[in-house]
């Protein structure tokens, strides 16, 4: 048997991957596939609004029920913006994944008016659905590879535990250079109508997603337990998905129980048994966790973060944050930014 081409051999850091556990089992059972649908070259100033549509996936697979969008920055830098989340600064070598395919803006600077990427794309029919795009004002260049992963059988319980954005920076993972060179090679082969190379692109993207999820749960070990609990109990998984996608609604234990079709007492007992804390305490912890991520951006206003985290006043947010993290938000922010 011939040895596989180099771009199909997993680097050591990804061969280790997950140890077998409910999270990795769920990921493998989804049977992800996908492809590259856009190669973009921008020059500053530029800003685009983007979201992968099911039609974008048709050249590669049947319209998936779950879409994971990703962007690999190959040249230059840009910023990613999602509503209700901290802006993400990206540079060459960085990869950003959106597990729930959330609408987003990519830009050289966020003071530039964003246009829909769909208005800019000119399809290259010879490239099996992939498109090339050049756009901008002629300044500093940025180049992106944009792709997707899709599944016909999404695991909603697992995705309930993932954030809107996962990133892998060149500092985070040793395989950055390997993946970039492999993707470029696979894309070149894809443009020559090599079907095997399109499969390789999907495999590489799948490995990247697995690596990003693995790192996320390494940084948030308590959520690995939460994910396992969600997959153990389908109704609790549904509740977690609701809290993840609608975190700022004025939830009570009773209203959340009603949403998933359980009595208040049955839901509270079941949730506490699986997660170890009552529903509203769990929600408060998740809101504070998301607030802590936003606090790492020095430009984010603490009062605005407090309001968008569901607190009626900045003082109430400060008290809750101090109880959870041991320091008020402003002090915690100074300490964390000072470490970097």
What separation in angstroms does the CA of 135 have from each of 14, 64, 85, 207? Answer: 35, 29, 26, 30
- Pick 97 or 215 by higher pLDDT: 97
pLDDT above 50 (res 14): no
**Rounded Cα–Cα distance for residues 57 and 59 (Å):** 6
Q: Are 58 and 124 in contact (CB under 8 A)?
A: no
Domain parsing of the chain, residue ranges: 6-219, 223-339
Q: Out of 29-33, 78-82, 263-267, 303-307, which region has the weakest mean confidence (pLDDT)?
A: 29-33
- Mean pLDDT, the chain, as a whole number? 80
Question: Which residue's entry shows tokens 């049977």?
Answer: 31
Total Cβ atoms within 10 A of residue 248: 12
Q: Out of 17-26, 132-141, 271-280, which region has the weakest mean confidence (pLDDT)?
A: 17-26
Sheet holding 115-116, edge to edge: 88-91, 77-81, 104-107, 47-50, 115-116
The arithmetic mean of pLDDT across residues 97-103, rounded, is: 90
The arithmetic mean of pLDDT across residues 208-237, rounded, is: 78
CB-based burial, 101-129: b 16+ in 10 Å, e otherwise: bbebbbbbeeebebeebeebbeeeeebbb
Task: Kindly report whether the global pTM for this prediction surpasses the value 0.85.
Answer: no
Q: Which of 49, 38, 65, 88 is nearest to 201 (CA)?
A: 38
pLDDT band for 2, please (50, 70, 90 cuts). Answer: very low
The arithmetic mean of pLDDT across residues 179-194, rounded, is: 61
pLDDT above 60 (res 84): yes
pLDDT band for 308, please (50, 70, 90 cuts). Answer: confident
Q: Which CATH number fits domain 223-339: 3.40.640.10, 3.40.190.10, 1.10.10.60, 1.10.760.10?
A: 1.10.10.60
Q: Which CATH number fits domain 6-219: 2.30.30.100, 2.60.120.10, 2.60.40.10, 3.40.640.10?
A: 2.60.120.10
Total Cβ atoms within 10 A of residue 176: 21
DSSP assigned state of 174: T
pLDDT above 50 (res 124): no
């Amino acid at each position: 048997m011939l040895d596989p081409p180099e771009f199909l051999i997993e680097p050591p850091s990804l061969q280790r991957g997950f140890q077998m556990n409910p999270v990795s089992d769920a990921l493998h059972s989804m049977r992800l596939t996908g492809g590259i649908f856009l190669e973009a070259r921008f020059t500053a100033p530029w800003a685009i609004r983007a979201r992968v549509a099911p039609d974008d996936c048709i050249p590669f697979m049947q319209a998936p029920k779950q879409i994971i969008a990703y962007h690999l920055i190959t040249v230059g830098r840009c910023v990613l913006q999602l509503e209700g989340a901290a802006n993400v600064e990206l540079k060459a070598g960085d990869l950003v994944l959106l597990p729930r395919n959330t609408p987003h803006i990519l830009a050289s600077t966020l003071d530039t008016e964003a246009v829909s990427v769909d208005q800019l794309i000119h399809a290259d029919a010879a490239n099996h659905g992939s498109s090339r795009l050049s756009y901008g004002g002629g300044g500093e260049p940025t180049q992106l590879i944009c792709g997707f992963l899709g599944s016909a059988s999404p695991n909603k319980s697992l995705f309930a535990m993932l954030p809107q954005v996962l990133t892998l920076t060149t500092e985070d993972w040793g395989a950055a250079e390997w993946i970039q060179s492999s993707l470029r090679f696979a894309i070149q082969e894809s443009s020559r109508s090599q079907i095997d190379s399109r499969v390789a692109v999907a495999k590489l993207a799948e490995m990247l997603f697995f690596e990003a999820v693995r790192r996320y749960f390494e940084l948030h070990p308590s959520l690995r337990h939460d994910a396992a609990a969600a997959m153990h109990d389908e109704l609790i998984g549904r509740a977690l998905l609701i809290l993840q996608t609608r975190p700022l609604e004025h939830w009570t234990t009773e209203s959340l129980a009603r949403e998933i079709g359980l009595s208040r007492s049955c839901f509270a007992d079941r949730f506490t048994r699986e997660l170890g804390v009552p529903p509203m305490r769990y929600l408060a912890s998740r809101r504070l966790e998301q607030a802590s991520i936003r606090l790492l951006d020095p430009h984010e206003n603490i009062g605005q973060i407090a309001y968008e985290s569901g607190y009626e006043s900045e003082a109430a947010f400060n008290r809750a944050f101090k109880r959870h993290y041991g320091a008020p938000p402003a002090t915690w922010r100074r300490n964390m930014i000072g470490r970097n």
